A and B are shown apart, each in its own frame.
Chain A
């Protein structure tokens, strides 16, 4: 059995890709596949997973994939640099495929500039079908012919030609790198990862979803919803896994959370009222499961991994009007101790700290604050830029 584990953000088309791959791999007689998303309460922008299983016999096991032959990242901010997470998820002899312009030393990682390639052909960064092309080179069970057939059967007609071009181009780039193909970036380096950010944030990205008749390869079921629609999962195990991956890679999400049920400790970082825990409530099922009554405000996971962009406050331009604080849907902008002093200091001397600050552990990067600011004191910058600083 070939197992493929897809990592993406809700809205990037991970499940569509998982589905198309399954369709392609099971076109031949005697070929079987399963494709399914993870389910969970997180919403658009949150890290999510999807799964494809391919076999020459009917597949009875419908459980999630823990170890895969191919682990695919549609967003390189989800790939942890330490390698701990993906190495745990990769079978021996397996490959990691990542949408990135970065270079990776490890030969098992194949980097493809899928944002660049899809932007070139589709006009925006929808990276999912690039990886179908790549897999048709790397994986024997997936032929180019069947990938094209799957695209023709399961995508809207107006998308066929462009996505077929994407597949062909992706194949060429992977083939050009030789059969091993690890470590290097396939495709035009230097294309801004920014494109992905734009597509995830803008209304164009939204319109790309099939739900609104958009032209691109996103899938309705990836976006909102709870159990009825496929969603990124928030199982405590994979919260910790995903959180730690994001944390390690981005370096902005604070300490990683450990794996086992002891993830259920309160984050130390959580502001204000969360501090009312004198002692953390019991984590023993025999205790907590006796009622559905538990300490209010108990948090175990941060939301930083949702973000492709972050707001940065320019202390000199900030007037302390608090509109950003007021309108933040997540309450992640807070008044700093210097707020009062700042308000009094009409000249806003250089180097003074801003009267408000952003809690980057929980900011989802929506940008409402930047729009609410009437003094251009908030700028949204890509996470990659923030990390490079």
Chain B
């Protein structure tokens, strides 16, 4: 295992640069940081979504490494094809990671079938889901990773409903259930943790999945300078968690092994986290309390793994 990565050890090259993402965009930080770990031989595939829309619009092409756009549903399938193509030709450099960056909708909704197929085949790819908890590219619509209570343009907060009525899909567990060699959750608020997971994933052969929370100031209703802070807070208050799953192939444990990288003795306030975001404005105190109960149940489950 290579030495831990940090701000000093990653490449000075900016591999994702000059893009048109909103100021303070969390997704662009996740892509930038991951590519700085993976280096210039990474090949990226991005479906139609924020990062491709802001990242390569001819002639402004913001990936300095090889990159391709994919059909919305097909991130994982295109990754498989790239990897197979390189392997078939004997052209894959040792340090080449075939990596996909897809949003929450592109992963948990329309792209889930292709992702499941690629994991099932155990193709040697890294799939990174940057989760900003809604379809932000099209102007904030609910995805299956939108949390309860979040106001989106398709889950408006009105008299009858206070935003999204469903719970966030547990994608990490769904992916882990495939017995994937490596899966992890991360947050751009804890960037070194994320980068080290990216590095670890790159060192493992087979399918890898990293789910990184990447706040969207525009869609979450927070200041553009608060992106990182709020990504930290969602972990600290327990509504997101930093964990790793190592499949039987990697851990040697039948059924695989789950590690909680951060298991806080005490959480910060869920209410403070929710109340600072415009999207949760309509939640009642009771609903906030239910979110907190949901958190506690989730952690009971996580700690039991």
Contacts and interface: CB of A to CB of B under 8 A. Distances in A.
Contact flag (A, B; Cβ within 8 A): yes
Interface of A: 41-46, 201-203, 206-207, 211-214, 220-221, 223-226, 228-229, 234, 236, 264, 270-274, 276, 283, 288, 292, 294-303, 306-307, 321-323, 325-331, 334-335, 362, 364-368, 370-372, 380
B19 interface: yes
B263 interface: no
B228 A45 contact: no
Interface string B226-239: 11110000000000
B54 A43 contact: yes
B279 interface: yes
Nearest to A223: B218
B25 interface: yes
B8 interface: yes
9 contacts: A203-B223, A224-B140, A229-B139, A273-B17, A297-B61, A322-B7, A329-B25, A329-B28, A368-B228
Interface residues of B, number: 63
A224 to B, nearest CB: 4
B24 interface: yes
B15 A371 contact: no
B137 interface: yes
B89 interface: no
A198 to B, nearest CB: 10
Contact of B63 (A296, A321, A371): A296
Interchain residue pairs A-B with the least CB separation, the first 3? A367-B225, A297-B64, A366-B24
B248 interface: no
A20 to B, nearest CB: 20
B20 A211 contact: no
B300 to A, nearest CB: 33
Contact of B61 (A201, A299, A302): A299
Interface in B3-30: 7-8, 12-26, 28-29
A28 to B, nearest CB: 33
Contacts of B59: 236, 264, 283, 288, 294, 298, 300
B157 interface: yes
A370 B153 CA distance: 31
Given A45-B224, A224-B219, A264-B59, A334 B32 contact: no
Nearest to A361: B18
Contacts of B19: 330
Contacts of B197: none
A201 B225 contact: yes
Given A203-B223, A366-B224, A225 B139 contact: yes
B137 A303 contact: no
Contacts of A271: 14, 17
Contacts of A226: 53, 137-138
B204 interface: no
A201 B14 contact: no
A223 B25 CA distance: 13
B228 A371 contact: yes
B215 to A, nearest CB: 11
B270 interface: no
A40 B19 CA distance: 13
A70 B257 CA distance: 66
Given A43-B54, A225-B137, A297 B221 contact: no
Contacts of A370: 225
A226 to B, nearest CB: 5
B20 to A, nearest CB: 5
A329 B20 contact: no
Contacts of B281: 207, 212-213
Interface of B: 7-8, 12-26, 28-29, 32-33, 40, 53-54, 57-67, 136-140, 151, 153, 157, 191-192, 216-219, 221-229, 276, 278-279, 281-282
A331 B64 CA distance: 13
B218 A274 contact: no
Contact of A325 (B7, B16, B24, B228): B7
A223 B217 CA distance: 11
B222 A203 contact: yes
B102 to A, nearest CB: 16
B60 A364 contact: no
B54 A206 contact: no
Contacts of A321: 7
Contacts of B54: 41-43
Contact of B60 (A214, A292, A301, A331): A301
Nearest to A225: B139
Given A46-B20, A206-B222, A270-B18, A326 B278 contact: no
B57 A329 contact: no
B274 to A, nearest CB: 13
Contacts of B64: 272-274, 276, 296-297
A295 B61 contact: yes
A134 to B, nearest CB: 29
A43 B282 CA distance: 26
B272 to A, nearest CB: 14
A211 B140 contact: yes
Contacts of A296: 61, 63-67
B141 to A, nearest CB: 9
Nearest to A239: B60
A264 B58 CA distance: 9
A21 B229 CA distance: 40
A201 B224 contact: yes
A272 B137 contact: no
Contacts of B20: 41-43, 46, 234, 303
Nearest to B192: A326
Given A322-B8, A365-B23, A368-B228, A298 B40 contact: no
Given A201-B224, A224-B218, A298-B59, 7 more contacts: A41-B20, A43-B21, A44-B22, A206-B218, A299-B18, A331-B14, A366-B24
Contacts of A371: 225-226, 228-229
A44 B20 CA distance: 9
A203 B23 contact: no
A367 B66 CA distance: 30
Given A46-B20, A212-B221, A329 B139 contact: no
B278 A212 contact: yes
